[in-house]
Amino acid sequence: MITIVVGTNRRRSKSKQVALFYQKLLSDLNAESQLLDIADLPDDFIRSALYENNGKNESFNTYRQMMQESDKYVFIVPEYNNSYPGALKVFIDGLSYPSELLHKKAALVGISDGVQGGALALSHLNDVFNYLGMNVLAQRVKIPFMKKNFLDGEIKDGLIDKLIREQAELLVKF
């Protein structure tokens, strides 16, 4: 099972639209996937599911279980203040330690309305995943200028579309 993580808690996000696009790519490759949208996490999980409360929030545990049962992930990561969203970091911190991500595999997709397509966000997140022992696919896709490159649920730039399709194929084989 491949879990596609929508890396923001913003409701009706562009990240979720990209996640749905990616899920269709995986379906076309006959790969089973599920979405995990951190916008759906319990509002109080930062207090009720972390540290001394790890494992005690049953709503949050549903998401932890999704992560535990998956062996591969796609993280759709918007750029917030030149990095990835704090809500994604808190979600990762809420997973069990040692990490449920140890020796698992992931693909990273960065998005932004700017020119870099979330490159720094992906770099920062990759550092965290390396620390946690996750194997991150070398091909990271960056979608810059989201307002023109991702419209109506589709990638409009031919090169970016080619790269994201290649990445999905590599992840399935990874």
pLDDT for 98-153, tens place per residue?
A: 788 999 999 999 999 999 999 999 999 999 999 999 999 999 999 999 999 999 99
Spell out a b/e string for 97-133, using b for 16 or more CB atoms within 10 Å of the CB, else e. Answer: eebbbeebbbbbbbbbbeeebbbbbbebbbebbeebe
CATH number at residue 161: 3.40.50.360
For the stretch 26-57, pLDDT in tens is 999 999 999 999 999 998 888 888 888 888 88
Contacts of 81 (CB under 8 A, 6+ apart): none
For the stretch 67-109, pLDDT in tens is 999 999 999 999 999 999 999 999 999 998 778 899 999 999 9
Quick check: 143 and 18 in contact, CB under 8 A?
yes
- Predicted pLDDT of residue 33: 98
Strand partners, 72: 2, 105
Quick check: 42 and 49 in contact, CB under 8 A?
yes
Domain membership of residue 110 as a residue range: 2-173
Rounded Cα gap, residues 96 and 137, in angstroms: 23
Instruction: Tell me the CA end-to-end span of the chain in Å, nearest whole number.
Output: 13
Rounded Cα gap, residues 79 and 170, in angstroms: 24
- How is residue 81 written in tokens? 């203040």
Q: How many domains would you assign to the chain?
A: 1
Angle of helix 158-173 versus helix 14-28 axis, rounded to 10? 60
**Mode of pairing for the β-strands spanning 154-155 and 2-6:** unpaired
